[in-house]
């Protein structure tokens, strides 16, 4: 079975500061990895995904993430955050077996302060 | 492409009543997923369909829950004899069976059981 751990339930940061949201996963098979963002009262929106190839992937809104297979991590980063980045961020994993479902972490609330 | 549509967006019901949610996926997507999200948690997988076939069900899906996708297009999720613990956001997502199988989510249906 797969699992995703997001250790930080909330990350406060000042506007224009850099941020890193941590994600670690567990799986006995190869995986695809995803980051989704959820704004209040909305569904989840895909930020970026890692399928294969370069371990550094870039997504929308200036976010990027790096896949580290040895540390089973997929941390999300942004060099300079804006107030509008305040939202809930979810890391998810899909095992490359017969199932197509995503398994999500518990989420990290990014709170950007002026 | 109008995205994934869910109806109703909000439902308030009394304990013991039955409720039904509807999901209309992106038209060319043949996979459809249901997730449940409670406050402060990540989405939890409930079930998914490929066309009209229900291929996987979570143990979270008790006997009071049933999902259908009779013609391989829209899907319904019914909860019978609702309990207060059923209060949550019910998310629907869809994906195609090509490429990375990226899930596109709807805005969700929020259920409050009094």
Cβ A34 vs Cβ A46: under 8 Å: yes
Output the six-digit token pair for B49: 């369909």
Question: Helix/strand/coil (H, E, C) string of A62-110?
Answer: HCEEEEECCCCEEEEEECCCCHHHCEEEEEEEEECCCCCCCEECCCEEE
**Does A9 contact B40 at a Cβ distance shorter than 8 Å?**
yes
C-alpha angle with apex A90: A8 to B5, nearest 5 degrees? 150
Flag whether pLDDT at A27 surpasses 70: yes
Closest by Cβ to A106, choosing from B41, B91, B106: B41
**Does A90 contact B101 at a Cβ distance shorter than 8 Å?**
no
**Does A36 contact B33 at a Cβ distance shorter than 8 Å?**
no
- The pLDDT value recorded for residue B1 is 56
If you search the block for the tokens 């038209």, which residue do you land on? Answer: B27
Mean pLDDT to the nearest integer, B24-53: 94
Mean pLDDT to the nearest integer, B97-105: 84
Q: Which of A5, A34, A101, A106 to mutate to test the interface with B (most CBs of B within 10 A)?
A: A101
If you search the block for the tokens 């972490």, which residue do you land on? Answer: A105
Secondary structure (3-state) at A19: strand
Flag whether pLDDT at B73 surpasses 80: yes
To the nearest whole percent, how much of chain A has pLDDT over 90? 82
Residues in chain B within 8 Å Cβ distance of A34: 102
Cβ A9 vs Cβ A106: under 8 Å: yes
Residues in chain A within 8 Å Cβ distance of B105: 36, 43-45
* A57-82 residue pLDDT tens: 999 999 999 999 999 999 999 999 99
């Amino acid at each position: 079975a797969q699992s995703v751990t997001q250790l930080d339930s909330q990350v406060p940061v000042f506007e224009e500061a850099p941020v890193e949201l941590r994600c670690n996963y567990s799986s006995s098979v190869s995986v695809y990895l995803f980051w989704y963002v959820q704004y209040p009262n909305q569904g989840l929106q895909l930020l970026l995904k890692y399928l294969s190839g370069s371990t550094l992937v870039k997504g929308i809104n200036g976010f990027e993430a790096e896949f580290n297979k040895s540390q089973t991590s997929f941390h999300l980063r942004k060099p300079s955050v804006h107030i509008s980045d305040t939202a809930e961020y979810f890391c998810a994993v899909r095992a490359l077996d017969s199932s197509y479902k995503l398994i999500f972490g518990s989420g990290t609330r990014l709170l950007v302060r002026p | 492409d109008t995205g994934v549509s869910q109806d109703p967006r909000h439902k308030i019901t009394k304990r013991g009543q039955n409720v039904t949610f509807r999901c209309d996926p992106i038209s060319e997507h043949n996979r459809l997923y249901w997730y449940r999200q409670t406050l402060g948690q990540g989405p939890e997988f409930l079930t998914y369909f490929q066309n009209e076939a229900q291929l996987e069900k979570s143990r979270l899906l008790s006997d009071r829950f049933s999902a259908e996708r009779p013609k391989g297009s829209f899907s319904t999720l019914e909860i019978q004899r609702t309990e207060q613990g059923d209060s949550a956001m019910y998310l629907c997502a869809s994906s195609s069976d090509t490429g990375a199988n990226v899930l596109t989510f709807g805005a969700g249906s929020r259920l409050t059981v009094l």
